[in-house]
Structure 1
Amino acid sequence: MTHETDLSATAPRETACTPFGYCDSHHLPIFNVRAGIPIDDALVQISLLLKCASESAQELGDYGVAQRGLLWSTLHSVDAAKALADALIDGGSGGG
């Protein structure tokens, strides 16, 4: 007997509200993913943010010395992409 699951029934359709951009554990988040962003728009943004992070990381490697602006750009892009992915996951679980 095979057990089939309809993933489309549980797949997220839009984002849940998700804060991000914590300076450290003692501060409130600076940014927020808005609830209700369609999955296609969120995935495009995730892809663009990860492309930016990848290119910034490559630049850092080319310089051989940490460039503070490139480092923060890379960290912010990864943080924002993760927040969007988390917002999609939370949106699919009814967390929005």
Structure 2
Amino acid sequence: MTKPVPDPPLTTQTATTFGSCNGSHEPLFAVRAGVSSEDALIHASILIKSAYQTNAQACELADPEVRNLLWGSQHTLEMSLALIEALLDEVEARAATSTVLQRSAEAIQAAVK
């Protein structure tokens, strides 16, 4: 059975702080509660892409010993980005499906009236 009303979008439930400089002061920043999962994934993707590009440039400038460590980070960033992009694709596909289902339900209701 197809649900006529889609589930509400996922959102962050709690605020998560960051930026405390290893505990030397209270955190400066926070991810706020109520942020949609799609928006959070988009921002995560942008942040990972930036870190990936920064790390790639560092690989070019570093000496061989450090370069090997940076390449490990580069692969981790690449895997993280692939995961985030796959999740974004799923969120977007579900949103599109939800829109189609909602329009179908509305068309059926209009036809019944």
The two structures have a TM-score, normalised by structure 1, of 0.51
Where in structure 2 are there 5+ consecutive unaligned residues? Answer: 1-6, 67-76, 78-113
Alignment partner for residue 57 of structure 2, among 48, 56, 59?
59
- Cα displacement (A) at 1:26: 2.8
Where do 4+ consecutive residues of structure 1 move more than 4 Å? none
* The structure with more radius of gyration: 2
- Tell me how far apart the structure 2 counterparts of residues 33 and 44 of structure 1 sit (CA, whole Å): 14
Where in structure 1 are there 5+ consecutive unaligned residues? Answer: 1-8, 67-77, 79-96
Alignment partner for residue 10 of structure 2, among 13, 35, 39?
13
Q: CA RMSD in A?
A: 2.4
Which residue of structure 1 aligns with residue 41 of structure 2? Answer: 43
Which structure has more RCO (C-alpha within 8 Å, separation ≥ 6)?
Answer: 1
What SS is found at the alignment partner of 2:34?
coil
Structure having the higher helix fraction is: 2
- Cα displacement (A) at 1:17: 0.8
- Tell me how far apart the structure 1 counterparts of residues 60 and 28 of structure 2 sit (CA, whole Å): 31
Task: Note the alpha carbon deviations across 1:60-86, whole angstroms, 9 max, x for none.
Answer: 1111279xxxxxxxxxxx9xxxxxxxx
Which residue of structure 2 aligns with residue 22 of structure 1? Answer: 20
Q: Percent identity?
A: 35
The two structures have a TM-score, normalised by structure 2, of 0.44
What SS is found at the alignment partner of 1:47?
helix
